[in-house]
Chain A
Amino acid sequence: MENDTIETEMTAEQTMTPSLEETRKVKMFTEDLKAYFGTFRALHGIDMRIFSNRATAIIGPSGCGKSTFIRCLNRMHEFVPGARTEGKVFLDEKDLFKKDIDLIEIRRSIGMVFQRPNPFPTLSIYDNVCAGLKLSGIKNKSFLNQAVEESLLKAALWEEVKDKLNHSGMSLSGGQQQRLCIARALAVKPEVILFDEPCSALDPISTGKVEELIHSLKENYTIVIVTHNMQQAARISDYTGYFYLGTLVEFGATKKIFTNPDKQETEDYITGRFG
């Protein structure tokens, strides 16, 4: 049932501009998105849609622009010296590249989890989770307490840390640290969460936990995940985009991409003949 709707939706030629007739709500989309590092162009005009409350996986060989792409979605790309972007990125009806846009507001709506767990080393577990709230001026203790507990529960970390909230965030294992970073992102109540290879520095057991978590987050959030791990993409995503050399080669329902892709290159990559 579920699959049928996706199939019909995706086999219709990808018009790439969002239409209201779409059965699934489009949360974000990009139009002719180009990203540069100095004079080097890392993305050559990407048109892509990200559907609401679904997980979208971005796959492709190293250096194909996957990370650059999702770093454009919350405008983190420009933080690198010399980097710039062209084209358009929309969140709902908001043009994220508009001049007078409030970067802080965007980053609150679009959370990000990085490749390596990066808890703030001088802060406790508690302060790590509520850093985003505290540093934007929220001081209400009971509100913060509740936000911390809620976020840690959602990140499936509460049981493991509830008795040591004042310990350093660095005292946790790598997998726990990554879930702490997820809790930290959840605490500011984003609508979209970007995951940049969130499991590449984790062992298989921690990876399993984080994957499970991402799966459960789909109910309330829109997920975009960059991954090197094909099985991971197949397991947790509903849609998959295959990037190669800075272009989006193919985009579609994960089932279709992994069983019957339209492009030969996609099939070669997925079956491991290339990349």
Chain B
Amino acid sequence: MKSHLRRRAENKIMTGLMFLFAILTIIPLISIFAFVITKGVTSINLDFFTHLPKPVGEPGGGMANAIVGTLLLVSLACLWAIPVGILAGVYMVEFAGPRIASTIRFTADVLSGIPSIVIGVFAYSLMVLPMRSFSTISGAFALGFMLIPTVLRTTEEMIKLVPQTLREGALALGISRFKTTIHIVLSTTLPGIITGTLLGVARIAGETAPLLFTAFGNRVWSTNLFEPIAALPLQIFVYAISPFEDWQRQAWAGALVLIMMVFVLSVVSRSATKRKYSFS
């Protein structure tokens, strides 16, 4: 009888503890959201989205260049890193032998563990130094490296979930290995790959360190691929550590915009799981 009561008590305590820790993991997210929103929402206005930064000392102005810059940097990074990641992932599961596959997997894991500042330095020495200029493309190059491991591992995990009988079903119809991979295997897993990829994209959108010596930041309007370009995380960094109160307020607004961008991407990625039943 006593042991029964004791077991019940232990059970209650442990369940309570687990509940407590589950709550603890949600608190940071909620408090960051609340904090950024309350701080940022007051300084956000239409000017913030449409105007360039004003010279030091002059109040007002916005971060239009940084918003466009971030969108451009992230798009360019996606443009090269997503195809590379997906193709490498497909190759790994469908065509590579076990030894090559595990080498690629290990390399990707190491790459995803490399500090982002190191990737920035790498892109600096590989692109900025030879080109003698900070540039959009070197920033996109650095960001792409941060994205590849996520895309590759997501693709791998998703494709592994495709049952072997599906591949065999396609092959048995006389469909070539290549078309089976593209039209049957990839199309079956596409929603999962898109979800994982967009989460990765959301992550790189907020990266600051890789852009420090590549995109560098720019106070004026530029969409030139070979010149320095503004980016939200960089702008936030510069404004937040500045002594001007107006800049600090704008840093909060920038943070809010950045968080919203990431949030929208995550929501879109979740709803990308809708299926259609035809060849694309």
Measuring CB to CB, which residues of chain A are less than 8 angstroms from any residue of chain B? 74, 76, 79, 81, 104-108, 111-112, 114-116, 118-124, 127, 131-132, 134-136, 166-169, 181, 184-185, 188
**A122 pairs with B168, CB closer than 8 A:** no
* B interface, over-half SS: helix
User: Chain B contacts of A169 at CB under 8 A?
Assistant: 277
**B173 pairs with A122, CB closer than 8 A:** no
**A166 pairs with B174, CB closer than 8 A:** no
B160 in the interface, Cβ–Cβ < 8 Å?
no
CB distance from A132 to the nearest CB of B (A): 4
Known: A134-B279, A135-B179. A118 touches B169 (CB 8 A): yes
**B174 pairs with A122, CB closer than 8 A:** no
CB distance from B277 to the nearest CB of A (A): 4
Count residues on chain B whose CB falls below 8 Å from chain A CBs.
26
**B165 pairs with A135, CB closer than 8 A:** no
**Alpha-carbon distance between A174 and B169 when the two chains are bound, in angstroms:** 16
User: Chain B contacts of A181 at CB under 8 A?
Assistant: 169
CB nearest neighbor in B for A137: B179
**B279 pairs with A116, CB closer than 8 A:** no
Known: A118-B163, A124-B277, A166-B277. A136 touches B174 (CB 8 A): yes
CB nearest neighbor in B for A181: B169
B17 in the interface, Cβ–Cβ < 8 Å?
no
24 contacts across the A-B interface (CB closer than 8 A)? A76-B168, A104-B174, A104-B175, A104-B176, A105-B174, A107-B171, A107-B173, A111-B172, A111-B173, A115-B165, A116-B165, A118-B168, A122-B276, A123-B278, A124-B277, A124-B278, A127-B278, A132-B174, A132-B175, A134-B279, A169-B277, A181-B169, A184-B169, A185-B173
Measuring CB to CB, which residues of chain B are less than 8 angstroms from any residue of chain A? 98, 163, 165-176, 179-180, 183-184, 187-188, 190, 275-279
User: Chain B contacts of A119 at CB under 8 A?
Assistant: 169
**Alpha-carbon distance between A106 and B175 when the two chains are bound, in angstroms:** 11
User: Chain A contacts of B179 at CB under 8 A?
Assistant: 135
Minimum-distance CB pairs A-B, first 6:
A132-B173, A108-B174, A112-B172, A124-B277, A107-B174, A118-B169
